[in-house]
Amino acid sequence: AQSVAQPEDQVNVAEGNPLTVKCTYSVSGNPYLFWYVQYPNRGLQFLLKYITGDNLVKGSYGFEAEFNKSQTSFHLKKPSALVSDSALYFCAVRDEVAGGFKTIFGAGTRLFVKA
Amino acid sequence: DVKVTQSSRYLVKRTGEKVFLECVQDMDHENMFWYRQDPGLGLRLIYFSYDVKMKEKGDIPEGYSVSREKKERFSLILESASTNQTSMYLCASSLAVHRGRNQPQHFGDGTRLSIL
């Protein structure tokens, strides 16, 4: 079965510094990986997805993700953090089941960006 | 832009009541999902549906049922509400796998349900 792990409950970074939110995955077959962001009292918003063959994927709001097959990682990055990036971030993997599929979400990492 | 609308942002109900949570999407998506989100537990899948009148159990279906009579609407039903069902409920939709294997899910803003 597919799984994702987000090893950090919380990441703290100063505004203007680069940020990384970590995600590792376990899949059988091709990985279908995603990052989502959740702001307070809102649903999840799609940020970016892995595209086969691209080791660096660009997404919304200046975020990008680095895919590393040998380390089975899909870390979310941003070169320069903003206070408004403070939110809850979820890594996710697609899991195909009979008749369709479901998405498995990591536990989430809370990002705090300090001014 | 895809819009997933959940009928209530906040809802307060009493133990034993039958509770209906409604979700509507406007992008002709085949797949629809219901999750609950609790602190420290992340998102847990309750039920999903990949076609009208079709439903599949997720990871925590006990105490819940769903209805999908029309493609755009997916309802979550708490048959007899209990206090341990107090939670944030999130609805999501996506295109079918045959329309692209890495289609993301689109979420509503959630319903914060309190059972007293």
Question: What is the tens place of the pLDDT at every residue in B31-50?
Answer: 999 999 998 888 999 999 98
Query: Which structural domain range is residue A95 located in?
Result: 3-114
What does each C-alpha distance from B75 to B2, B20, B60, B109 come to in angstroms?
18, 7, 16, 15
Which tens digit of pLDDT belongs to each residue from A55-91? 999 999 999 999 999 999 999 999 999 999 999 999 9
Question: What is the nearest CA distance from B58 to chain A, expressed in angstroms?
Answer: 8
Question: What is the nearest CA distance from B80 to chain A, expressed in angstroms?
Answer: 25
CATH number at residue A79: 2.60.40.10
Question: How many domains does chain B contain in total?
Answer: 1
Parallel, antiparallel or unpaired: strands A10-14 and A109-114: parallel
Query: Which structural domain range is residue B8 located in?
Result: 4-115
Evaluate if residue B62 carries a pLDDT over 90: yes
Question: How many domains does chain A contain in total?
Answer: 1
Q: How far apart are CA B17 and CA B49, in angstroms?
A: 25
Q: How many residues does chain A have?
A: 115
Helices (H) and strands (E) in chain A, counts: 0, 12
Residues in B closer than 8 angstroms to A96, CB to CB, are 97
The percentage of chain B sitting over the pLDDT mark of 90, rounded to a whole number, equals 80
CATH number at residue B80: 2.60.40.10
